[in-house]
Amino acid sequence: MSSSKVPQSGSDTSLTDPVRYPVSASPPVRTKRAFVLILLTLFVPGSAQLVAGDRKLGRTALRVTLCAWAAIVLALLLLLFNRPLLINVITNQFASLVIILVLVALAVGWAVLFINTLRLIRPVLLVPGARPGVGIALVLALVISSGSLGYAAYLLNVGRNAIGSIFSSGPAIEPVDGRYNFLMMGGDAGDDRTGRRPDSLSVLSVDAKTGQTAIISIPRNFQNAQFSEGSPMRSVYPDGYNCGDECLINAINTEVTNQYADLYPGVADPGAQATMEAASGTLGMPIQAYVLVDMEGFSTLIDAMGGIRIKAGGWVPMSGYFDEATKTHGMPLGWIPAGEQTLNGDQALWYGRSREYVDDYARIQRQQCVQQAMLKQLDPATLLAKFEDIAKAGTKVVDSNISSSQLGSFVDLAVKAKGKEAKRLTLGPPDFDASFSTVPDFDQIHERVDQLLASASGAQSAGTADDVMAVPAAGGGHVQASGSRSPGVLQAGGSTAQQATPAPADFTPVTTTPEGEPITAEMLNQLKSEGNEEAIRQLVATNGQCAPL
C-alpha cells in the first residue's frame, strides 16, 4: 500500500515547509520563495541547496564560498598592509595562471548552482505572471556573478599576456643610495630602420621609500656622452662619444645595434643598453633599467586612456612635409591651440614631437608635461574602465628590461608618487645655456644632479639651505637656488640671468596677438602662406609652457 510513502512521526511539518516543499505553499509564498533562493545563491552560494535541495551539494558549495571569502579578506589585508606582495602575486606568470583557472572554475560552478536553483524553484508551480520576473532576476544574478568572474579572468589573462610581452624575466634590481633610476626613451621604429633613434631621453629617479621623483632630461643632440665604467662601449670610445657633430647621444642606439651588437652577447636590445650606459656615465649616477616607448604607437596608448588634459602655453603646429631644399616645413596639418585642451593620441604625439618655430628645449618641456599628464590621469578608475585597450596598446608601445617580478614594488611606488610634484633638471635651456649640450661640463652636471637628488630625497646637502636646488615643473622656467638673495637663475658656468622663476603651472596661455586680436588657425595658416615665418615664430614662442590638468 501507500503506507511506505507516509512520513514517520515528527515529519509532518516537513511536508508543510514551503522552502523545501513548495507544493503545499500558496502562490504568493512560492513567488517569494523563488526570489529568496535566487538571492541566497547570489550572496551565499550553496545556501539555497542547503535549505531547499541537495544538502551535500550545498555543503560543498558553501565550503568553497567560505574559502573564496577568506581569499578576498586576505587580499584586502595585503592591499592595506603589503600592496607590493599582492601585485607581485597577481602579475606573476604562474600565479596569475592559477588565479585565472580558479576564477573560471568558480564562474562555472556558480553557473551550475544557478541552474540547480532554477530546478529548485520549479517554475511550473509559479503563477504565469510571476515566471518572467523570476526568470529575469535569475539571469541578471547569473550575469552579475558568473559573468563578472569570467570577465575578471579574461582581463587578468589580457594583463598576463601584456606583462609577458613588455617586461623581462630577469633578476630583480636593488635601489642604489635609496633610489631606483630608470631611463625613459621615446623614439620611432619602422621597417626601414635597424634600431630606434630616440627623440627624447629622460632619467626618472624615484625614492624607494617615498616615491618622490626627479626627472632629468637629456637633449637628443647632446654631444660627447660618457659611457659608464664597465660599459663595453668604453673600449670603442674611451674619451666619450666624441666622433664629431654626428655623435649625438640619440645616435648611440642605432650605431650599437648596427655595428657593435657583438659587444653585448645575450642582451635583448644592445642599442638600448648602450644608451642607458651613456646616460649613466654622463649624469654620474647608476641607471638600473630602461623603458623604451615607440612614439608611433604612443598615440594608441593615449587614445586607449581617453586622451590627456593639459594647459598649453602657446599654439603648436602639427607639421607638414619638410622641404630639404628650403629647410622649411610645408603647410601644417593642423594646430593645437593654447589654453586648456584635451588631446587625443595623434594630437598628443604631435604635441610631444613638434619643434617647428621653436627649439628642442621647448619640445622637451612639452614631452615632460605629457609624461606628467599620463601619470596623473591614469587613475584606477580609468585603468579599470579601459584596462583591455590600455594593456593591448602597451604591448605595441613599450619595451623594457624591468623584471616582471618587481612590478608590485614599482606600481606601489607609482601610487606613492601620485600627487607629489616631480623635481626637474634639463641639460640645456632653461637650466643651462643653449651651447651647453655641445660642449658639456661633466663636473657641473654631476654637481647639479647630486643637488637635485638631495632635494628629491628630502635631504639637504652639506652647508646651508641655499645649497638645495628647487627644480620647477615642465614649463616652469629655470632652476633657482632656494633662499638666494636675487631672483636670478643659474646658467652654465655659474652666470646668473635676472629672471624670476615662475611657480609651476603659473603662466597665462598666449591666445592673442600683442594688439589683442585672437590667434586662430586661419591666422597662422595665412601667415604661413605669405611666408611670414618670423611672425608665426613670435606668436607661438611660448608653446614650451605646459602643465597637466
Q: Summarize pLDDT for 302-337 with one digit per residue, the tens.
A: 887 788 899 999 999 988 777 777 667 788 889 999
Q: What is the mean pLDDT of residues 283-297?
A: 82
Q: What percent of the chain has pLDDT over 70?
A: 79
The top-scoring range by mean pLDDT among 4-18, 161-175, 248-262 is 248-262
Q: What is the mean pLDDT of residues 171-190?
A: 77
Whether 285 shows a pLDDT value over 60: the answer reads yes
pTM of the model: 0.63
**All three cell numbers of 419:** 600627487
- Position 92 confidence tier, pLDDT thresholds 50, 70, 90: confident
Task: Give, as one character, the DSSP assignment of residue 87.
Answer: H
What's the CA angle centered on 233, arms 229 and 238, to 5 degrees?
70
**Residue-by-residue DSSP string for 317-371:** EE---EETTTTEE-S-SEEE-SEEEEE-HHHHHHHHH--TTS-HHHHHHHHHHHH
For residue 547, with 0-12 CB atoms within 10 Å meaning exposed, 13-18 middle and 19 or more buried, which class applies? buried
pLDDT at 3 (0 to 100): 42
